[in-house]
Chain A
Amino acid sequence: MLRFLARRAAWFALTTWVVITLAFFLLRAAPGGPFSSERKLHPSVEAALREQYHLDWPLWKQYLHTLGPLNLDERGWLGDGADPFGGVLAGDFGPSMQHRDVSVNDVLASSLPISITLGSLALALALVLGLSAGVASAHSPGSKLDQSVRALATGGLVLPNFVLASLLVLVFAFWIPVLPVAGFGTPRHLVLPSLALALPFAAYIARLSRAGLLETLSKDYIRTARAKGASRARILWKHAMRGALAPVVSYLGPAAAGVLTGSLVIERIFAIPGAGTHFIASALNRDYTLAMGVTVVYAVLVFGFNTLVDVAYTLLDPRLDLEQEA
């Protein structure tokens, strides 16, 4: 376990570094800058702003400055003055370039919890809906129930999530006005967005678990369980489920990344003040620091979740060894 975590940590460092570097250079390579798009600033004001955010520095110096708590003076040497900026590696993303007077960390602190709430709710919902549909389907393959579950699952997989979201809004907010359309605050506000976000993943999980269950149910050890006198429900839930869960669990990694991506759309549709909004806006506005902050946080979230999934996967199957899996 320790070795696994150590290797994971090394991977984590490497991945984060790649993400930071990619994000840094892609952003700087893009035409325009944080202060060029707005209503024309006076050249002296713009110069002052550029100086304030160190955009007048050479690129390598900006890069190092972004990375770490390095105090570099004009000559590129380590200075001794106290720079309040801690650097990305220390978890300090600095001041936002668009939202004046607000630090990126503040922006993230106010918006990220909302996104995470929405995302984890959607994942849980996808898991619950998908698994129950898959089990119901596999319980009697070929039945009416099975056919309708499969049809629904297909529906969830062939439509873009904003279309699904629009349909949900149309039905539950306009035709049968039981739920609020937009905003964030009460649990009721979360129902439609998390459902819209969850549906495609629920559909895929239903497919995976159905296929996994049917495959597992044909195994020899299921016959052993039947020969022991176990009931059908027991066989399904205890003997088949555990084996069938493996593909579902390993799908959770990509699903988490997908939920984050999907939340960009869902947050926009339902006017939810989450981090997704900043994501695109910051990239388009060349808000270098905010874009870097959102990117790194998302990458870290995805990586952390994948690590959790790997651990869960090993707990599920005693034949796997974390040491080798790392």
Chain B
Amino acid sequence: MSERSASSTPSWFRDADYEFAAVQIERLRPESPWRKARERLSQRASVRWSLRFLVFLALLSFLAPLLPLPSPAAITVAAEPAPPVAPWSALGDHKFVPEYWDLNPLDRALVSVRTSLFGKWRTGPWLGTDALGRDVLARVVWGSRTSLLVALCAALTSLVVGVTWGALAGLVGGRLDNVLMRIVDVLFAVPTIFIVIFTLSFLDAPKSAVGEASLLSREQVFFLVVGAVSWLSMARVVRGQVLELKRSAFVEAARIAGASTPWILRVHVLPNVLGLVIVNLTLTLPSVILYEAFLSFLGLGVEPPKVSWGLLAAEGAEALNPLESYVWLIAAPALVMALTLFALQTLGDGLRDAFGVEERSER
């Protein structure tokens, strides 16, 4: 049904919703939000490129152990930061040493595949090396794993906890709605940074007192904490949208026409909420990646020798001084970060336009 109405939509009323289009609008059933979104998205080159870049980045970051990069953790003693070298003048050498931190089994397997594929060959210092002689390119690629994983974690919590929470509040309403949203309100009012810093500092500092008693690693706690504070706005947004939909004319009409509740949920509520959820997600991700950088700068992020973009940028920022400008140390992580966030933002803006969601600040 939506297919037919969408194809007969006169195109011009989107541009000029003037009098001469009013009748046609009235004649039409509201278009399927999905179709409209797809149509609008495909028209934008910037959105397509952003999507491609993000997919490429995700692949690169997942396959990092497989790539013939130098080790991101191998330290050369008494090294000086070395500037980038163009690939054509130093393609690579055969000095690879498989030195990593404790990898998980999958990554270990990938590394062994890499050694059997490329042997001791490794790429040259295309993005330079840092003060400990570590390859910046390798560190940026390996660092992307932390940053993207944090983003993924936040996205999952937003989806699972945030959407469920908001949808439950909006759909059930009444007292439950009240209780659920008051909890969100209070949590919103508690500055999240406290929780994060306190929780993270659990695992930090005086090891002597308790030793390694905790079950979770620093990273796992880190991911949990970032996830735990990122679902609040999602819950609010989803609840608001569900409430709006519940009151909307077309849900009313469907109810009068005798549609069952599951049908209304599936046909009317879900597609309309999903657009908003996706948009909100693309807006959450950049802030989470920046948050990781922020925590890393304060020394509360991943622990060396592990790397993340935030850690790299923080190291780079510290290495900046007027005498010796090791610009590449900050430029490399800052640039990939900027590109990623820019791509996410472009995608988010595109999706927002496509789904017709207003820009507003969520509290």
Chain A residues proximal to chain B, CB less than 8 Å? 11, 14-15, 18-19, 22-23, 26-27, 29-33, 36-37, 154-155, 157-163, 165-166, 169-170, 173-175, 207-208, 211-212, 215, 247, 250-251, 253-254, 257, 260-262, 264-265, 268-269, 279-280, 283-286, 291, 295, 298-299, 302-303, 306
Contacts and interface: CB of A to CB of B under 8 A. Distances in A.
Contacts of A22: 190, 194-195, 198
B85 interface: no
Contact of B317 (A163, A286, A306): A163
Given A158-B338, A175-B322, A215-B358, 5 more contacts: A37-B206, A162-B313, A166-B316, A284-B201, A302-B191
Contact of B294 (A174, A207, A261, A284): A261
Contacts of A159: 334, 337-338, 341
B206 A31 contact: yes
A276 B277 CA distance: 34
Nearest to A253: B363
B338 to A, nearest CB: 4
B359 A208 contact: yes
Contact of B359 (A158, A207, A253, A284): A207
Nearest to B320: A166
B322 A299 contact: no
Interface stretch (B70-78, B207-215, B240-248): B207-215
A182 to B, nearest CB: 12
A299 B191 contact: yes
B198 A163 contact: no
8 contacts: A18-B186, A29-B202, A154-B345, A160-B293, A163-B313, A163-B317, A175-B322, A298-B191
B124 interface: no
A260 B191 contact: yes
Contact of A279 (B197, B297, B334): B197
B207 to A, nearest CB: 8
B298 A247 contact: no
Interface of A is mostly: helix
Contact of A160 (B191, B193, B202, B290): B290
Contacts of A299: 189-191, 194
Interface string B258-293: 000000000000000000000000000010001001
Interface string B170-210: 00000000000000011001110111011101101110111
B189 A11 contact: yes
A19 B194 contact: yes
Contacts, number: 155
A264 B298 contact: yes
Contacts of B363: 250, 253-254, 306
Contact of A26 (B185, B199, B320): B199
A192 to B, nearest CB: 14
Contacts of A155: 338
Contacts of A162: 293-294, 297, 313-314, 317
Nearest to B338: A158
Contacts of B197: 279-280, 283
Given A26-B198, A299-B191, A306-B189, A160 B342 contact: no
A311 to B, nearest CB: 14
Given A211-B359, A253-B363, A265-B298, A170 B189 contact: no
A183 to B, nearest CB: 17
Residue of B208, B339, B363 contacting most chain A CB atoms (<10 Å): B363
A215 B361 CA distance: 15
Interface string B340-354: 011001000000000
A83 to B, nearest CB: 27
B14 interface: no
B162 interface: no
Contacts of A169: 320
Contacts of A283: 197-198, 201
B264 to A, nearest CB: 28
In the A-B complex, list the 3 residue pairs whose CB atoms are closest, starting with the nearest.
Answer: A32-B206, A31-B210, A251-B361
Contacts of A280: 197, 298, 300
Given A265-B297, A265-B298, A158 B191 contact: no
Contact of A208 (B206, B320, B342, B361): B361
Contacts of A160: 290, 293-294, 297, 310, 313, 334, 337
A32 B341 contact: no
A66 B114 CA distance: 57
B4 interface: no
Given A160-B293, A299-B191, A30 B201 contact: yes
Contacts of A261: 191, 193, 294
Nearest to B199: A26
B186 A15 contact: yes
B226 interface: no
A36 B189 contact: no
Contacts of B310: 160
B169 interface: no
Contacts of A284: 201, 204-205
Given A170-B320, A265-B294, A280-B298, A158 B189 contact: no
Contacts of A298: 191, 194
Interface string B46-62: 00000000000000000
